[in-house]
Structure 1
């Protein structure tokens, strides 16, 4: 999946800003499969090990995406103290099988800090992220 550099940078900046809590947000894309917008949102749980997107912010992101002819195509969150790999909770709670789930980590080499996955029926399929302009 091609991820524009500014979306990658926004996810990583939001991850650092929210630490030590998990960061979270949503991703919007167009009908050609391009990521167009990242929505950096509030973790309503304010937890370092779990997240829930603030419902009102989720709704505003959805309305903004629709107003621009986009749709929500994914979500992101961070793992402040572990690798960028879906936890058992991440796999269990992934409700959208067609969404890309980006996970940002504050540990490990910089190149491995953002990874993407499809989470379907408890299975994890890693998606190669190509960072571009």
Structure 2
């Protein structure tokens, strides 16, 4: 189960809506080894695509250096789907960081209601997990 605060959910959804119809992407980092997400970091989708995302490599390097200095790690990798439901695509599965990373997908598709779902990618397959939202 992934535990997020309402403000973290709100930040992810706001970022997804701001970037729509392009896919938004980002991270929620936390103390290494804790599985406790603490800081939302919106990333630039260098692909500027409606169907896939790629982190800006310069920004990614800066964020990874900052995490190393702070002793933090990516807990959640999030992105949006602007034209489909919140379910991992083949491209999403290829972007897995580690089996421990939570992958949150937000659907901003006008054909569906706002959908926020979380998955772990195990052996190349998405396994959905519950999201518990706390204050």
TM-score (norm 1): 0.90
Mapped to 1, the partners of 2:93 and 2:34 lie a distance apart of 27
CA positional deviation for 1:23:
0.3
Q: How does 1:46-61 map to 2 (within 5 A)?
A: 46-61=48-63
Assess if the C-alpha contact under 8 Å between 1:24 and 1:75 holds in 2: yes
Q: Deviations over 1:6-25 (max 9, x none)?
A: 21111111101111100001
Q: 2:78 aligns with which of 76, 79, 82?
A: 76
Assess if the C-alpha contact under 8 Å between 1:26 and 1:61 holds in 2: no
Q: CA RMSD in A?
A: 1.5
Mapped to 1, the partners of 2:22 and 2:113 lie a distance apart of 20
**Count of residues paired in the alignment:** 131
Partner of 1:93: 95
Segment of structure 1 superposing worse, 44-53 or 24-33: 24-33
Matched, 1:109 2:113: yes
Assess if the C-alpha contact under 8 Å between 2:36 and 2:75 holds in 1: no
Mapped to 2, the partners of 1:121 and 1:62 lie a distance apart of 25
Distance 1:96 1:49, change over 3 A: same
SS at match of 1:6: helix
Runs of at least 4 residues of structure 1 off by over 6 A?
none
Assess if the C-alpha contact under 8 Å between 1:44 and 1:53 holds in 2: yes
CA positional deviation for 1:95:
4.0
Q: Deviations over 1:85-126 (max 9, x none)?
A: 10122123324222111101113333xx11110012221111
Unaligned stretches of 5+ residues in structure 2? none
CA positional deviation for 1:68:
2.8
SS at match of 2:121: strand
